[in-house]
Structure formats: C-alpha cells, structure tokens
Chains A and B, each alone.
Chain A
Amino acid sequence: MKKLLLTLLFSTLCGSAAWAEEPAARGIDQVINDAISPVSNAIVSVIFYSVPIGEANLPLIVVWLVVAAVIATVYFRFINFRAFGHAVELIRGDYSNPKDAGEVSHFQALATALSGTVGLGNIAGVAIAVSIGGPGATFWMIVAGLLGMSLKFVECTLGVKYRNEYADGTVSGGPMYYMSKGLAEKGMGGLGKVLAVFFAICCIAGSLGGGNMFQANQSFQQLVNVTGGEESFLAELGWLFGLVVAVVVGAVIIGGIKSIAKVTEKIVPFMAIIYCATALIIILFNITAVPAAIGAIIGGAFSAEGVAGGAIGALIQGFRRAAFSNEAGIGSASIAHSAVRTKEPVTEGLVALHEPFIDTVVICSMTALVIVITGSYTAGGGLSGVELTSNAFASAVSWFPYILALAVILFAFSTMLSWSYYGVKCWTYLFGESRSMDLLFKLIFCVFIVIGASMNLGPVVDFSDSAIFAMSLANIVALYILFPVVKEDLQSYWSRLKSGEIKKYRVDHVGT
C-alpha cells in the first residue's frame, strides 16, 4: 500500500512538472487522470468481482454486505425495530446520569458520526442509483438501510467495548481494536492481527478514495454546474479547486485551526435540515404525484422495465448505493462512536442504529422521491450524480442549485474531515502513534484532494467504492466472530433494562 501511495504521490508531482512545461490547464487534469485510471481500474476489478445474473452483474461484495446485514438482523432478533424507541430515549439523554454530564453525550456521538456519513452519498449516490437502477433502486436502498441498522449496532457496540483508553484520558477505537483485542479473547489473535492490518490498509485507501477524492470531485462538478456548466470559467480548473480545498482542509487538520471545523460542524446539520425541508416542500407541492412515484418505486423494485438487468439491476444499485451512503458493515462509524464514555457499550450501539435510519431511510428516500416525482431521471441528457439531483430540485425551485452547491461543498468538507480522522487512526495504528506519522498522512490526504478534483467522475466513483467496500471484507469477518459477545452484552443489558435495574434519570431533572 505504501508503494501504491508513493506511486500516486510521484505521479502527482510529475503532473505538476508536466504542467509547468505545458501551460494548458487541461494538461494537468489529463495527466492525473491517465496516471490514476490504471491503478484504480485494477483495484476495482478485484473488489467488484461480479457474477452475471441475467443481464445484470451482481458484485459479490454487495452479497457479502447484504447477507451479513440479514444475519445480524435475524441473530439479534430484529434489534433494528425492537430497540428503535429505546434508542430515541438514549439519544434524548433520559438514561444519562447528570453526574456524568460533560462527557460526550449519545447525541453528540451520533451527530458527529452522522456528519461523516450524511453527505454526497445522500445526494449524488441516490441519483446514480436511480439513473442506473430506475426508481425501484430506491426501494432496495430503504431495505438495505433498515437491515444495515443491525450491522451498525454490532460494530459500534464493539468499537466502544474494545477501544484503547490512554493515560491522558484520550481514546482510540474502531474495528482495528476489536479485531486485534476481541479476536485474541476468542483465541484467534493471529487472525485478528491480520484482519486489523488489512482493515487499516483498506480504511486508509477508503479515506483517500470515498472520503476524499469522491467528495472533492463531486463538489467541484457541482460548482462547475452552477457557474455555467461547460462554459464555466472553472470548467477546466479542477486542480485549482482541489488546491483551494486542500489548503482549507490542511488548515484544519494540519494547522489545527479549530474554528473552521467548528463552524462546519454547526453549519452542516443546518444544511441537512434545509435540504430535507426543501425536499419535503417539493414533495408536498407535488403531493398528487406521490402515489404514482411510490408506485414506480415499489413496482420498479420487482419488475424494472428499461433497466439493465431488470429488478436485479435495481436491487444491486440500491444496495450498493445504500452501503456507500450509510457505511453499515464498513466499520468507519465504529471509529467515530468509540469516543463515548459509557459503562454500557451496548447503549452506544443502540444509538448508532439511528444512523442508517436517518441517513438512508429518511434522507436518501427524500432525494429519491424528488428525483422520481420531478421525472428528472427520464428527462434524458444522461445526467447522473449531483447534477441529476440538482436538476430535479431546480425543476421545482429554480434557485435551489445554488443552495445545493453550497450544501454539497460543506457536506463534502465535513465528510473529508471525518474521513481524514478515520484515515489517521488507521495510519497510526499501522505505523505507530507519532506526530510525524500523523503529519505525513495528513499531507498525503491533502494531495489526494487535488487528484480527486481533477479526475473524471467514473474512475473516482469506482475507486472510492472499491476502497470503502474492501473495508467490509475484514470487518464483517470480525463481526461474525464477535456476534456472540455482543449478544451476551445485549441480553444482559436488555434484562437489566426490563427489570428496572437500569433507570431513567430524566425524572430527577424536572424541578418539581
């Protein structure tokens, strides 16, 4: 992996050199594209090894994720539905001891993890799913979101349970730690180590791919789109946009300028609310078209006409985009959730149930409904990604693309910050926690922003998909092995909750 990174770094440098000789800006974009495409194609063809089913190709990795989500849902007896209400109470803080106030709350952990997952997957990913898989893909996205809740529960519980707590009070957690520590408890220390290293490598690639290049690329596309499309003065300046974003991201993650991060963390939830509110308004204005849209979504799920591979094609697209959007089974959220200090790791898992729900079942469905209602996906022009969503919203609210462009850039920015953190955690897990290693990764991360912004959509989406999905290869093996551990903890927690041993504190809060 190190070698690959070096190659990529080197090719970027070559790119800059080529540009110096040949001032045409197109040059640098092309050079970067040409340098990356073969590498990304090679990785993609391995991760997305597919078996043909009728006309459609079913990537085995999608089967891997869906089967794990189904097994988790059944094994934990529909924890996604049965604990839904209790999770709301946990997030509200009903069970938080006021004496522990000041620690990261369940709400904060969820909000932070969400700001890492809510982003382009919800806007661009849905559009890709619907444009390739038809409206029916939406149905399968929702199904995948609901099933993904159970997987997310398992990985976040484990993340908290097996995290490292250091003497200075800081914590590090995530799949690398439950793989190495959890599997060692089961007498599979060797396998655990191998999985942890494999996961960390994939997470680093995912952090640079889906968590970085995809974000930079799509936010640039959107910026070009609102500033005049092909004629935009920015159209050929992807590398420049990338450079600007890289400097801002660098200022936060390397320069430690917390104020930028703080502002983003506050604006992102606000943007998400504006996005959902606008989607709702568009849906309400077209309320008469909603039954037909829902009909198309459900109908298309089982018999998709005009979609490559029919219903199977819709299913594959839906599952694939859902997994990319909510990251259930991928393991990334487990890193984010493990900062919570709780006596019961299970509670953090239960809170995390809501992540795929909000991300996929709520936000993705809204995007999909707007795209289907406005009929933008059939309008022709071969639009995909953010442009399709932007078009769909614009057909109802003409000025919305500007807000969407801003939202996309902010979502992309916050997702990049989250993934840079995941990447750093895995990097330092592999190479040791030192300042220089930390800095080296962050520099590489910034370079990849420039690369991502310069590339065409295709290679970027494929590479980011493949890197992020590869994380699930190791993660899900570890999850299967640790399922019984989580089940034991869950049963103990659930029986104490039912017997009243675990009490609500909120009653004390009321000042009467």
Chain B
Amino acid sequence: MDTFLVGIDGSEGSQRAAEFAARCAKFRDAKLIVAYVIEWSPYSFHTLEENEERHKRREEEIDRAENEVLAPLVASLKAQDLEVESLVRHGHGAEVLSALAVENKADQIFVGRRGQTKLQALLFGSVAGSLVQISPTPVTVVP
C-alpha cells in the first residue's frame, strides 16, 4: 500500500493539495498522512521570558494546528473513506517534510504553493521550491 504525505499550512493552496492528494490516494488505494509544519528555527534568538514561556506557546501552537486546521481536514478526508493519519511538527517546512517522508516511508509528497514572485521567494523562502530540491521522494506541487 502506498503512503502519500501532504504538507498542510492552513492556506487555500494546501487545501487544494490535500484534495488532489485525496483523489490520487483513492485511485492508488493509498494511505494519507497530513502533516502540519509550524515554522520554527532552533537557531533564532530569544529573550529569557520567551524561553520561559516556550513550552506553553508550543503546546498552544500544536493545539491550534490540530484543532483548527487538521481536525476538520481529517474529518472530511475520512468521510471520503480514506485512511488518514495526521501529525504536527515544528521546524523548517521542507526539511521536516523530507524527514517525515523518510520516517514514514512515504512514496510521494504533495504540497501547495504560495504563488510567490521571484522576489518574494527570495525574501521569504519557498517551501515548495526547497522541498523539490531536497526531497527523497517525488514531490507533487499542486497549483
């Protein structure tokens, strides 16, 4: 049985990616893993107060991702009779998705895109762009 990994960030683009992945999964009878990656760098600089509250904030971030984004999505996918798993991780979007693909032996990764111009991608970085470069498995970027 194939495993498809879908990167979710709550945007419309990632919603479309999930829908597309679901269509493919039905066709291939594959299992879906929807992953929400919260942007996070272990090398950023923090104040002492931020450090002190970090654990609390992290729990809140995970809660929000699970309840507001993943739960409705998983429900709608399960309603389509698909086998779905969901998880939340902190880190760099492309790196975490690649690592998750290895960890879960995913056969393909699906992500949306933000439709950035060259300049925007240069300034803010593009998850889809860097994922394509470092992913261990084929990547489908859904427009």
Contact = CB atoms under 8 A, between A and B. Distances in A.
B118 interface: no
B98 A511 contact: yes
Contacts of A23: none
B103 interface: yes
Interface in B61-96: 61-62, 89-91, 95-96
Nearest to B41: A105
Interface string A66-106: 00000000000000000000000000010010110111110
A341 interface: yes
Nearest to A101: B90
Interface in A256-279: 258, 261-262, 265-266, 268-269
Contacts of B42: 93, 96, 101, 105, 107-108
B3 interface: no
A108 to B, nearest CB: 5
B136 A112 contact: no
B24 interface: no
Interface stretch (A34-42, A166-174, A203-211, A451-459): A166-174
Interface string A148-184: 0000000000000000000011111000000000000
Nearest to A165: B55
B37 to A, nearest CB: 10
Interface string B35-51: 00010101111111111
Contacts of A341: 54-55
A105 B55 CA distance: 11
A169 B51 CA distance: 11
Range for the number of chain B residues in contact with chain A: 20 to 34
Of the listed residues A99, A104, A509, A511, the one surrounded by the most CB atoms of chain B closer than 10 A to its CB is: A511
A418 interface: yes
A109 interface: yes
A98 B46 contact: no
Nearest to A265: B45
B58 to A, nearest CB: 4
A421 B136 contact: no
A118 B101 CA distance: 41
Contacts, number: 100
A421 B102 CA distance: 42
Contacts of A511: 95, 98-99, 101-102, 134-136
Contacts of B136: 511-512
Interface in B1-45: 38, 40, 42-45
A265 B56 contact: no
A103 B43 CA distance: 12
A105 B52 contact: no
B51 A107 contact: no
B40 A102 contact: yes
Given A169-B55, A170-B55, A102 B45 contact: no
Given A98-B89, A511-B99, A511-B102, A339 B54 contact: yes
Contacts of B96: 98, 101
A218 B76 CA distance: 63
B45 A269 contact: yes
Contacts of B55: 103-104, 169-171, 341
Given A102-B61, A103-B58, A112 B46 contact: yes
Nearest to B38: A102
Contacts of A99: 89
A431 B29 CA distance: 63
Contact of B45 (A112, A336, A340, A421): A112
A168 B135 contact: no
A332 B86 CA distance: 42
B47 A265 contact: yes
Contacts of A98: 89, 91, 96, 99
B45 A105 contact: no
Contacts of B56: 168-170
A212 B54 CA distance: 26
Nearest to B42: A105
A417 interface: yes
Interface in B88-122: 89-91, 95-96, 98-99, 101-103
A508 interface: yes
Nearest to A421: B48
Contact of B43 (A102, A107, A170, A509): A107
A112 B42 CA distance: 12
A111 interface: yes
A102 B44 CA distance: 11
B51 A108 contact: yes
B102 A266 contact: no
B90 A112 contact: no
A347 interface: no
Interface of B: 38, 40, 42-56, 58-59, 61-62, 89-91, 95-96, 98-99, 101-103, 134-136
Interface of A: 93, 96, 98-99, 101-105, 107-109, 111-112, 115-116, 168-172, 258, 261-262, 265-266, 268-269, 336, 339-341, 417-418, 421, 508-509, 511-512
Given A115-B45, A336-B51, 5 more contacts: A101-B90, A103-B54, A258-B50, A266-B45, A341-B55
19 contacts: A98-B91, A99-B89, A101-B42, A102-B90, A105-B43, A108-B42, A108-B45, A111-B46, A116-B48, A261-B47, A262-B47, A265-B46, A265-B47, A339-B48, A417-B48, A509-B99, A511-B99, A511-B101, A512-B136
